[in-house]
Structure 1
Amino acid sequence: MQMPIADFHCDVLFKLLEDERLSFRDDTSGKLDVTYKRLKQAKSVFQTFAIFVQPGDNAGIEPYFKSIDLFYRCVLPNPDIAFIQYKDDLERSLAEGKIGAMLSLEGLDGLQGDPAMLRIMYRLGVRAAGFTWNNANWAADGAMEERGAGLTAQGKAFVRECDELGMMLDVSHLSERAFWDMVDTASKTVIASHSNAASVLPHKRNLSDDQIKAIIALEGLIGVTFVPYFVSGSEVVTIDDLLRHVERICELGGERHLMLGSDFDGIARYIDKLHNPADVIHLQDALLKRYSARQTERFLSGNTIRFLRERLPERSSS
């Protein structure tokens, strides 16, 4: 029996932004991993849609608004999709058996340090923010930036602004120094939407044991990601390779802090038998060979839903 799944990161909005001929609802191109049909097949209860704009194109804020417009026009109109902004949205979506859809930011380059832009993003429904992609920007250094600097003064101010708004802080693409700056600056918990364990595969985009333990101590979540080169150095990467990261996070005390952060539509290569949301059944089957049904359910969606119930903002009565 297929268990419900929740995924904290996909890049389908970026593909739609690059080619608006693609259809989230009726994809026939074969170019999309995450589609309405596949989310239904996967028994998805929650999907985060990342807003990603290629850094360095100097496009400003416009592509961010276009991405949000695509989300409103192409994702939300589907009959079993529910927009998740507040706690009551989540409860209603779960009660009605719908797929909860939430917006996140993957990089703040185009906001150009203007807190008004962040507040507008929040009002439009964005509920999580990763400050960088792999590059450096005005807020912080990314994981692949050789300098390895931390948060800037503006970046720290944005951490405090996110906390004030109730926007979740995502550390997945930060340099290690920026990670610790964010942990030290934030008054609320942090998440890693799509990162694996560096002690299993040393990669700058993966998290050290100390970073994983810090997220756990802050009651955050770590989304194991399906990016093959964050999973294994082998030519063919398997679900068993991915389970080594699950095991390590659990060894560090993360059983209640582990979620999925697939990065579907942000990758060109795939883990064997794990190409789109409908394939997560293969991951479920592999997990059930090593973990109990209760643990597996936590990994696939339970931890995510519990966290969202705690961390999503309350709807204002005013």
Structure 2
Amino acid sequence: MNSLSSVDFHCDVLWKLLEQGNRSFLDDQTGKLDVTFTRLRQAGASLQTFAIYIPDSMDKSMTPILQSIDLFYRKILAVPGIRFVKTAGDIERIQNSGEIGAMLSLEGADGLQGNLGMLRILFELGVRAIGLTWNQANWGADGVMEPRQGGLTGKGLAFVEECNRLGILLDVSHLSERSFWDMVNRTHKPLIASHSNAKAVCDHPRNLTDDQIRAIIAMDGRIGITFVPPFIVKGRPAQVADVIKHIEHVCELGGERHIMFGSDFDGIDTHVEGLSNPGELSNLEETLLKLYSDEQVTSFFHGNANRFLLNNLPR
């Protein structure tokens, strides 16, 4: 994919490196990584967000979070041509330099254990987006799979305010619906759903209702259309055309300027046909260009995301 640069707001390479640190992000020869530097170059990538995800098999503490950040510094940032993105200025630099930006996010804040001092430390280390929960409940909120479907706790509400103050983007992708609305009502900064699709197109708990999509659009937030097959279509293998149905639906709700992509590469066991790694993004681009203008497709791939980051990352 050479005609467009791409922004991807969610991949799980760090999780795989945390579980098996001998893998190489530069050019993985094991075939176990979807996202590698080589494939990002193939995709014409301008920015990749790397999520810190701590599986249930590991201690829900700061230790594996910090280990993941160490891996990010040693395995990702050490690659020539990668630039750490922490500020709006960094976005401007990668647009002019041809480097690939690397942004750091946290998927599930369990390990902070409600301590806002730990949040401030993560900000200093470069974390710029955080999802408060994964699928279950923690100290701050209920996730989408938590049976009681509660909302944000008092500590969760304080967390939202501190993220707003610091300049950390708040990610709603794994929140329960009540937690989502609690966050909408508390935040004074726009929210992102880094890797979620439209529930009206595919009825999955991790997808967004039309009201949620409209709320994100109304605050000038962003929705990262994701390539997770169960979030795209039910009962059969997912194809590129099925991904586009979610894009079309968000556009119908007024979200043309609020769409971005959050692949979830390396966090999924199955893939959309023809969309198994960043090197295959050209298949999505080609299909979109049959339906949308060059300007619209450019917005989906990087324009909308870059504009959001320029407006909402710290200066």
2:6 maps to 1:5: yes
Task: List 4+ stretches of structure 1 deviating above 3 A.
Answer: 55-59
Q: How many Å apart are 1:55 and its aligned residue? A: 3.7
Q: How many Å apart are 1:234 and its aligned residue? A: 3.0
- Write the letter of the residue equivalent to 2:105: S
Cα distance in 1 for partners of 2:270, 2:163 equals 33
Cα offsets for 1:275-311 (capped at 9, x unmatched): 0001110000010011011100100111011111111
| Counterparts of residues 1-318 of structure 1 (less than 5 Å) | 1-55=2-56, 57-314=58-315
Q: How many Å apart are 1:26 and its aligned residue? A: 2.4
- Write the letter of the residue equivalent to 1:272: E
Please report the TM-score for the alignment, with normalisation by the length of structure 1: 0.97
Cα distance in 2 for partners of 1:128, 1:198 equals 23
- The answer to whether the 8 Å contact 2:60/2:110 transfers is no
Cα distance in 2 for partners of 1:55, 1:178 equals 21
Q: How many Å apart are 1:59 and its aligned residue? A: 3.9
- The answer to whether the 8 Å contact 2:145/2:205 transfers is yes
SS, match of residue 117 in structure 1: helix
How many pairs were matched up?
314
Q: How many Å apart are 1:172 and its aligned residue? A: 0.2
- The answer to whether the 8 Å contact 1:24/1:75 transfers is yes
SS, match of residue 162 in structure 1: helix
Q: How many Å apart are 1:202 and its aligned residue? A: 0.8
- Write the letter of the residue equivalent to 2:17: L
Q: How many Å apart are 1:90 and its aligned residue? A: 1.4
- Write the letter of the residue equivalent to 2:98: G
Q: How many Å apart are 1:88 and its aligned residue? A: 1.3
Cα distance in 2 for partners of 1:119, 1:308 equals 20
Cα offsets for 1:137-170 (capped at 9, x unmatched): 1110111111100001100000001001010000
Cα distance in 2 for partners of 1:59, 1:298 equals 37
SS, match of residue 145 in structure 1: coil
- The answer to whether the 8 Å contact 2:58/2:64 transfers is no
Cα distance in 1 for partners of 2:147, 2:183 equals 19
Cα distance in 2 for partners of 1:177, 1:57 equals 28
Q: How many Å apart are 1:56 and its aligned residue? A: 6.7
Cα distance in 2 for partners of 1:50, 1:147 equals 27
Identity, in percent, stands at 55
Cα distance in 2 for partners of 1:149, 1:58 equals 24
Q: How many Å apart are 1:45 and its aligned residue? A: 0.3
Q: How many Å apart are 1:249 and its aligned residue? A: 0.2
Cα distance in 2 for partners of 1:87, 1:206 equals 29
Q: How many Å apart are 1:2 and its aligned residue? A: 2.9
Cα distance in 1 for partners of 2:78, 2:10 equals 20
Cα distance in 2 for partners of 1:3, 1:87 equals 21
Which deviates more, 87-96 or 164-173? Answer: 87-96
- Write the letter of the residue equivalent to 1:145: E
- Write the letter of the residue equivalent to 2:298: E
Cα distance in 2 for partners of 1:268, 1:111 equals 28
SS, match of residue 129 in structure 1: strand
Distance 1:70-1:57 versus aligned 2 partners, 3 A rule = closer
Cα distance in 2 for partners of 1:55, 1:106 equals 13
Cα offsets for 1:5-42 (capped at 9, x unmatched): 00000000000000001110121000000001000111
In the alignment, structure 2 segments of 5+ residues that lack a partner are none
- Write the letter of the residue equivalent to 2:128: R
- The answer to whether the 8 Å contact 2:47/2:100 transfers is yes
SS, match of residue 152 in structure 2: coil
- The answer to whether the 8 Å contact 1:48/1:103 transfers is yes
Cα distance in 2 for partners of 1:2, 1:71 equals 28
SS, match of residue 223 in structure 1: strand
Q: How many Å apart are 1:247 and its aligned residue? A: 0.3
- Write the letter of the residue equivalent to 1:156: L
Please report the TM-score for the alignment, with normalisation by the length of structure 2: 0.98
Cα distance in 1 for partners of 2:147, 2:286 equals 40
After superposition, the CA RMSD in angstroms is 0.9
- Write the letter of the residue equivalent to 2:22: R
Cα distance in 2 for partners of 1:132, 1:213 equals 22
